[in-house]
Chain A
Amino acid sequence: MMENKKLFGVTGLFDSPDAIIHAAEKISSDGYKQYDINTPYPMHGMSNAMKLKPSKLGYFALALGLSGTAIAFLFMAWVTNFDYKIVIGGKPYISFPAFVPIIFEVTVLLASVGTVVTMLLLFFRLPNNSHPLHDTNYMKSVSVDKFGVIIEASDKNFDLGKVKSLLTELGAMDISEIYYADEYTSKYKVYTPKFLGFLAVTAVFICAITYYTLNILLYQQPFSWMMNQAKGKVQSASVMFNDNKAMRNPVEGTVAQDYIPYPFKDKPEEAMASLSNPLLPDKATLELGKQRFLTYCSPCHGNFAEGDSRMNGQFPVPPSLHTDKVRNWPDGRIYHIITEGQNLMPSYSSQILRNDRWAIILYIRALQRALNAKEEDLK
């Protein structure tokens, strides 16, 4: 009927699964390679009857899966051991058992998604969106209740007369020739400006909808997830005050709780003269002093106040606290230094409580005495 068109193949329809399996066996044993079977549901034993070779897709899945394994492992090893070392849960940097679930997931993800994409691109030739069998009566029949076979014209053994008589011999009904439809495919090409423009508009539209849904629609009152609360936030404008600031300054003369002003700023001699240690060197105090000393003082002065910490050499050497000068200082002088700082040492008044400072001093005294024990101490 359409003599000027290129022939795609010859189709035939069968009524029963037994007949189609028999047909597949006969066609494959006659040496045809370029043919296909279409059935309304998957049929057990069909791949044997068609003498299909095992699919190559498995090798793609294997390669993709193994690359997932490698990517996941190398990435985690690099992150945890080279890029940003951080101890997690007391485990080693490269702790393989913790990696396993993630390696497994990435392997499965890459293998499955990659296999589907490979299948679409390589086996289904994706950008190609048409097939001569589309919209034929043949395709409609095999989608409902018939079992069809198509022998393609590209087969080496293809001969129109022979194929038709073979199908007749097998008992096929409705034997028909299928042609490539030239104008049909040219009308709906993928890479036309119109279609690409349509894709772009759709993409922008979907992005806009998504943005609106996820960022605005979801947070409408009263489902604001507590993001909007009726209070003035720091650094935001306020309509309540004349200066429009939400953040207010404290009333003049306000003092923080538990805050006592230090009267001896820049007056070490006075501090020395008027301050004395209110604490007694009992065990609890010394323990407290030790703990605070190790937290705040030891990083520079060393664990035993000998000025031998690992900061040594990086800064001007932090002084030892075992010198005669420090040993002979009264407690008030050391207290003044902790509170006000001295030379490179900053003030610790905001970090160490008053009583803790005195406890630290008692602990320093204990250290000094330990390093310079007199004979009577041994008794």
Chain B
Amino acid sequence: MSNTENQIIYEKKPFPTKVASIGGILTALGLLLGVIAYFVEPLRASYNLIIAFMFLSSIGFGSLFIIALEYLAGAVWSTPFRRIAEIFALVLFAAFILAIPGFFNLQRIFHWSNPEVLAKDAIIKAKSPYLNTNFFIIRTVVIFLIGMLFYKLLTGNSSKQDKSGDQALTKKNLRISAIFMPVFAISITMLAIDWMMSLEPHWFSTIFGVYYFAGSFLAALAVLTFAVIKLNENGYLVKGITKDHYYSLGALMFGFTNFWAYIAFSQFLLIWYANLPEETFWFITRSEGSWKFVSLGIILVRFIIPYILLITQPSKMDAKRLKLAALWILGSHFYDLYWLIMPTYSKSGCLIGWMEFAFPILAIGIVILVFGLAARKKNLVAVGDPKLKRGIDFRL
């Protein structure tokens, strides 16, 4: 096409330490506040910890999903910045660290793990082959080990390719991605069921895993979009990333905003229509008192505003608009997780204090810190990828 030179122009620019230090400061601040919170109100702090944990898992698993999706679909447009998603997948390791304090507070957080409750409650007893402390911990550990294994396999091959340029590695990663997909589907569903749905052990919704997946994929896309635009503007990425690439990222965010709304509404409609008491109480908790406004707000914050921000064609190409939309979607993911998790802690009404901000600061700090540290060591572009040239030439 019009791009006649066949040379890929990428030289690794030294990545500023500033990013890692900002991340470090935020992480330290969040950690300090979190520890204080734990001594002030341990239960409330634990619930907030789950929000931060689920957020980081979203970024980690969602980024892995984006990588695997690119290989499986044979997509070229995302190849120039696949490495950014690979770096964000590292957040997986940090997320697992946040799960560990949760393991020590299981009895406090999860109603079903309490032996006294178990003895009295027939429903929980019937669910106890799945919902028991040992199996719970095993599941989480296995899910994260599998995630880390696939991270190692996929990004390891990708890094090897930087030096060797071996095309067989792409083929290898394609196979690994194909195995990863079903594993990913099961693990993210289990993660959502274990850490969020089982907070109300009597409640069940078969679409819950998909709901969490929709939010996770959106969050991973948003953080990727923001980082790609910011890095590209400052010249850290390969030359030739254009509005066509931006448009594709924006279109995916727009599409999955709709997907999220579709799934969220499907969950609500079926429960509302069937009107069975064992299902409705979850929504009733969320529609009473001040939770009502939080629940209505989620329609506005998570669906209508991103929808309007991204609906027109020029808005998906506008760097400024995309960055705003990406940050908004990340914020709305926190909102969504807060809405999923906190009503179980405070049934009487919504609760906002310094604690509800401390843990998001921790989570965001960790994401920035991980990225800042990894970006200094790694190439920010998969220079050996055979699809890179086509990816740069991608036009709508």
In the complex, the number of residue pairs spanning A and B with C-beta atoms less than 8 Å apart equals 37
- Binary CB contact string for chain A from 262 to 303 against chain B (1 if under 8 A, 0 otherwise): 000000000000000000000000000000000000000000
Contact with B along A87-99 (1 / 0, CB 8 A): 0011100000110
Answer whether residue B272 sits at the interface, using C-beta atoms and an 8 A cutoff: yes
Q: Does A316 contact B (CB under 8 A)?
A: no
A313 at the interface (CB under 8 A from B): no
Give Cα A61 to B188, complex, Å. Answer: 37
* Distance in angstroms between the alpha carbons of A25 and B1 in the assembled complex: 12
Given A21-B2, A22-B2, A89-B275, verify A45-B396 contact (CB < 8 Å): yes
Q: Which bracket fits the contact residues of B? A: 10 to 19
Question: Contacts A45-B395, A48-B395, A100-B269 known; A18 to B2 CB distance under 8 Å?
Answer: yes
Q: Which of A22, A54, A101 contacts B313 (CB 8 A)?
A: A54
Q: State whether A18 touches B268 (Cβ < 8 A).
A: no
| Other-chain contact of A45, B1, B269, B275 (Cβ < 8 Å) | B1
A contact face: mostly helix, strand, loop, or mixed:
helix
> Is there an interface contact between A101 and B269, defined as CB atoms closer than 8 Å?
yes
- Bound Cα distance A47, B273 (Å): 47
Report the Cα distance A16→B4, complex, angstroms: 13
B326 to chain A: closest CB distance in Å?
24
Chain B neighbourhood of A248, CB < 8 A: none
Return A91 CB to nearest CB of chain B, in Å: 8
- Name A97's contact: one of B2, B4, B244, B273 (CB within 8 Å): B273
Chain A contact patch, size range: 10 to 19
Within 8 A of A (CB), among B112-126: none
Q: Which of A25, A47, A90, A97 has the most CB of B within 10 A?
A: A97
Task: Provide a sorted-by-A list of 25 A–B residue pairs whose CB atoms are within 8 angstroms.
Answer: A17-B1, A18-B2, A21-B1, A22-B2, A25-B2, A44-B1, A44-B244, A44-B396, A45-B244, A45-B395, A45-B396, A48-B395, A49-B2, A54-B313, A58-B313, A89-B273, A89-B275, A90-B275, A91-B273, A97-B268, A97-B273, A98-B273, A100-B265, A100-B269, A101-B269
Which chain A residues have a beta carbon within 8 Å of chain B's beta carbons?
17-18, 21-22, 25, 44-45, 47-49, 54, 58, 89-91, 97-98, 100-101
Q: Top 8 A-B pairs ranked by shortest CB distance?
A: A45-B395, A44-B395, A97-B272, A97-B269, A44-B396, A21-B2, A18-B1, A21-B1
What 17 new A-B contacts, CB under 8 Å, besides A45-B2, A100-B269? A17-B1, A25-B2, A44-B1, A44-B394, A44-B395, A45-B396, A49-B2, A58-B313, A89-B273, A90-B275, A91-B273, A97-B265, A97-B268, A97-B269, A97-B272, A98-B269, A100-B265
